[in-house]
Structure 1
Amino acid sequence: MQSESLRSYLSASEGNYAVLNEYAAMEAYKGNTLASIFRSMEIVCQYPRQIIVLKTTGRICSLVGRAQGLQRRMIEERQTRDFSNFCRRLRAAQAGDTYIQRQLLENGRAADGQMDRILADAPILPGAIKELRKTFRPEELKAIRLDEPFPDTLIEKSMKFIVELTFSKMGTHPSPPSRIRSMEELQNTFLFRHSVSTFVWALDWIARGGADNVRADRMRNDVIDVIFATYAAAPTAAPIRRMKGIS
Structure 2
Amino acid sequence: MPSLVIDSSMLQSQELRSFLQASPRNFAVLADYAWFEIYKQQSLEAVKRGLSVVGDFPDQLILLRANGEIVWLDPTEPDLLERMQFKETADSIREMAAITRSAAIDDAAILEQLHGHWCFARGLLPKLIEGAIEIAASLPEMEAQMFTKAEIQIIRTSSRYPGAMMDTIYGSAVQIWEHLAHANGLPWQNLGDNRVARSYLFRYALGLVIHLLWWISRGSQPIRRMDRMRNDIVDLSFCVYASYFDGFMTADEKARWIHVNLVAALEAMSRMDGAA
TM-score under structure 2 length normalisation = 0.78
Query: Once the 2 structures are TM-superposed, how far is the Cα of residue 177 of structure 1 from its aligned partner?
Result: 5.8
Partner of residue 5 from structure 1, selected from 1, 10, 15: 15
Corresponding position of 1:244 = none
| Distance in 1 between residues matched to 2:135 and 2:217, nearest whole Å | 16
Corresponding position of 1:155 = 166
The residue type equivalent to 1:158 in the other structure is I
Q: Does 1:170 align with 2:181?
A: yes
Query: Once the 2 structures are TM-superposed, how far is the Cα of residue 142 of structure 1 from its aligned partner?
Result: 1.4
Contact 2:44–2:100 (8 Å) recurs in 1: no
The residue type equivalent to 1:137 in the other structure is T
The residue type equivalent to 2:165 in the other structure is L
| Residues 180 and 5 (structure 1), Cα distance of their counterparts in 2 relative to 1, 3 Å cut | farther
| Distance in 1 between residues matched to 2:22 and 2:179, nearest whole Å | 43
The residue type equivalent to 1:143 in the other structure is I
Q: Does 1:105 align with 2:115?
A: yes
Query: Once the 2 structures are TM-superposed, how far is the Cα of residue 127 of structure 1 from its aligned partner?
Result: 2.2
Contact 1:64–1:180 (8 Å) recurs in 2: no
Corresponding position of 1:19 = 29
Partner of residue 244 from structure 2, selected from 234, 237, 241: 234
| Distance in 2 between residues matched to 1:102 and 1:180, nearest whole Å | 46
Contact 1:10–1:47 (8 Å) recurs in 2: yes
Report 1:33-182 matches (<5 A). Answer: 33-66=43-76, 68-79=78-89, 82-91=92-101, 95-135=105-145, 136-173=147-184, 176=186, 181-182=191-192
Report 1:202-213 matches (<5 A). Answer: 202-213=212-223
Identity level (%): 28
Query: Once the 2 structures are TM-superposed, how far is the Cα of residue 97 of structure 1 from its aligned partner?
Result: 2.5
| Residues 20 and 212 (structure 1), Cα distance of their counterparts in 2 relative to 1, 3 Å cut | same
| Residues 235 and 27 (structure 1), Cα distance of their counterparts in 2 relative to 1, 3 Å cut | closer
Contact 2:39–2:118 (8 Å) recurs in 1: yes
Q: Deviations over 1:220-240 (max 9, x none)?
A: 00000000000011166xxxx
Q: Deviations over 1:179-223 (max 9, x none)?
A: 864321110010111111111111101111224143110110000
Which range moves more in the overlay, 127-136 or 146-155? 146-155
Q: How many residues align?
A: 235
Partner of residue 207 from structure 2, selected from 169, 193, 197: 197
Contact 1:10–1:18 (8 Å) recurs in 2: yes
| Distance in 1 between residues matched to 2:162 and 2:97, nearest whole Å | 51
The RMSD of aligned alpha carbons is 2.2
Contact 1:54–1:74 (8 Å) recurs in 2: yes
Which range moves more in the overlay, 187-196 or 140-149? 140-149
The residue type equivalent to 2:243 in the other structure is A
Contact 1:65–1:184 (8 Å) recurs in 2: no
Corresponding position of 1:243 = none
Question: 2:24 is paired with a residue of what secondary structure?
Answer: coil
TM-score under structure 1 length normalisation = 0.87
Q: Deviations over 1:11-63 (max 9, x none)?
A: 11101110111100111111232121110111100000001111111111111
The residue type equivalent to 1:201 in the other structure is H
| Distance in 2 between residues matched to 1:23 and 1:37, nearest whole Å | 14
| Residues 93 and 60 (structure 1), Cα distance of their counterparts in 2 relative to 1, 3 Å cut | farther
Contact 1:67–1:185 (8 Å) recurs in 2: no
The residue type equivalent to 1:210 in the other structure is S
| Distance in 2 between residues matched to 1:137 and 1:54, nearest whole Å | 40
